[in-house]
Amino acid sequence: MAVEDSVAQDQLRAFIERIERMEEEKAAIAADIKEIYAEAKGNGFDTKILRKIVMIRKQDANERMEQEAILELYMAALGMVESPSDN
């Protein structure tokens, strides 16, 4: 059984080390992204809007259209915009 335990330990160690490497890479990428947003802000861009655009671009086009329609409907119901039927 000692051989099997050794193999399991080696596998466990390998998984942990791979995860740790990926976490380090993720942290480095997050730092790079932070620098890009800081650069954009330094050039006068609104970083909240940039983040929103990045999020929107990740969405499926149909999903995005559906969410925009629901948002418009809710805003119209609250009197924040003209209702679609008023146009």
Q: What is the pLDDT of residue 3?
A: 75
Q: Is the pTM of this model over 0.85?
A: no
Q: What is the pLDDT of residue 75?
A: 95
Per-domain residue ranges for the chain? 1-45, 46-87
8-state DSSP, 78: T
User: For every one of its 87 residues, what pLDDT tens digit does the chain have, with 9 covering 90 and above?
Assistant: 677 889 999 999 999 999 999 999 999 999 999 999 999 999 999 999 999 999 999 999 999 999 999 999 999 999 998 866 665
